[in-house]
Amino acid sequence: MLWCWRCKAEMPMLDEAEFAEIAALYSEAIGSTKALRRETGVSLQHPSVYERFRFVRERYEAITGYHETNANAILHHRISLYGPPCVQCEKPLRSSKAKVCGSCMHPVSGA
């Protein structure tokens, strides 16, 4: 569990091997969605488009135990995207190159 800046909550995060699996499923879903739209002209709001990302959501839930309804949000739940915890508030820095904490604005030492 790690603070997700996008979700504004503690979320189960994926390591690189887990993320690679999710990314492959997401890429397949994108490809099939593009093909569907090209062939039929269906909009992104069409239920079958949401259904095409079902495998991404299901695999994330199988890995983490957390039921996520937004496949795009899952792409932000990758441990390597974040920096170390802030020494003041303990939330993860937004990146390993952060100069200040995005939550409490405490300067990062050595930045």
| Coil vs helix vs strand at 2 | strand
Question: Which pLDDT tens digits describe the chain residue by residue (111 residues)?
Answer: 999 988 999 999 999 999 999 999 999 999 988 888 888 877 767 767 788 899 999 999 999 999 999 999 999 999 999 999 999 999 999 998 999 998 899 999 865
Look at residue 86 and tell me if it is in a domain: no
Look at residue 10 and tell me if it is in a domain: yes
Query: How far, in Å, CA of 70 to CA of 59, rounded?
Result: 13
Q: How far is CA 73 from the centre of its chain?
A: 4
pLDDT, the chain, mean: 91
The predicted structure's pLDDT at residue 82: 94
Residue 35 is part of which domain span?
A: 2-77
Q: What is the pLDDT of residues 70-85, one digit of tens each?
A: 999 999 999 999 999 9
Number of domains observed in the structure of the chain: 1
Look at residue 32 and tell me if it is in a domain: yes
Query: How far, in Å, CA of 11 to CA of 67, rounded?
Result: 11
Look at residue 42 and tell me if it is in a domain: yes
